[in-house]
Amino acid sequence: MMRRVGLFLATNLALLVVLGVVMNLLEPWLVAQGINVNHAGVLIFALIFGMGGAFLSLAMSKRIALMSMRARVIDQPANPTERWLVETVQRQAKEAGVGMPDVAIFDSPDPNAFATGASRNNSLVAVSTGLLRNMRPNEVEAVLGHEVAHVANGDMITMTLLQGVLNTMVLLLARVFGQIIDRVVFRSNSAFGPGYFLSVIVMQIVLGILASMVVMAFSRWREFRADAGGAKLAGRQNMIAALKRLKQAHQGRADLPESVEAMGIRGRTGMGFKRLMMSHPPLDERIRALEEGAR
C-alpha cells in the first residue's frame, strides 16, 4: 500500500511540476498580455485543498458510512447469523492478507453491502438485513468476498489518491484559465476581476465533470477486479449466483445514498452520458466477465 501511495503522490507532484514549467515557458506571453499568475500560490492552494480534501474524506469514510446508513457494528455476535458473518469475514480477511475489518449490519429490505476505510488494516464491511434474508449463505459469502477483495486491493486509498490528483488539477487549471479568460476575454485591468470569478466557477464545473468521469471509469474497473477477488475467496459459481440474485432483486435503481453508493456491491444503471457517470458496470457485464473467465 505504501508503494501505491508513494507512486500516486509522485505522480501528483510530477504533474504539478510539469504545469509549473509550462507556466514559466508561457510567462513572457502572459506578462505581455498583462497577466501575472502567482505560480507558487496557485500550486500550493490546489495541492492543499485538492489532496487534503480527498484524504479528509478518506479519514472520515467509516464514520460517515456508519452514520448515513445507521449501521451497527457487531462487537459481540448476538445470534448464529451474526457469528457466521463475523467468522466468514475473518476467514476471508486472513486469506486475503488484510487486517480484520469491522463488520456491521444496516437495516434495509434491499440486498446490498459495502466496504470502506482508511487502509487495508482499518476497514469496514457492512451488509444489509435484506441481503441476509433474501440471499443464500453461499451467495452472501460471495458478496462478502467481493467486499473483502475491495479492501485487499486497496481500492479506498487508490480512489482517494486518484480523486486527490484530479481535485488538484481541477483547482489549479480553473484558476489559471480564470486569469487568462479574465484578461483576454473580459479585458479586466484588476488582478481578480468579475470575469475571473465567473470563469473559475464555470471551469471548475466543466473540469470537475471530466474528472468525475475518470474516477467513475476507475470505479467500474475496480468492480470487475473485486468480482474476480470474490470468486477467488468464495468460488466463481457462488459469485456468479450472487450477482444474478442481485439482478433479480433490482431493476436499474440503487438503494444506497449517493455518498455511499460507489462503495456498494452494485449501483445505478443508465445509458449515454449517465453511463459515463456510473460507479458500477451493469450486472450483466459483470456476470459475463466471470463466466468468460471460467472458460
Rounded to whole angstroms, the Cα distance separating 76 from 95 reads 22
- AA letter at 102: D
User: Which DSSP state fits 28?
Assistant: H
Distance (Å, whole) CA 50 – CA 153: 23
Cα(154)–Cα(99) distance, integer angstroms: 12
Grid look-up 457517470 returns 277
Residue type at 255 in one-letter notation: D
- For 253, which DSSP code? -
**DSSP E strands, 5-134:** 72-73, 102-106, 113-119, 122-128
Point out the residues that are catalytic.
147
Residues 77 and 190: beta-carbon distance below 8 Å: no
- What are the start-end ranges of the E strands in 146-290? none
Helices (H), ranges, 235-282: 236-249, 258-261, 273-276
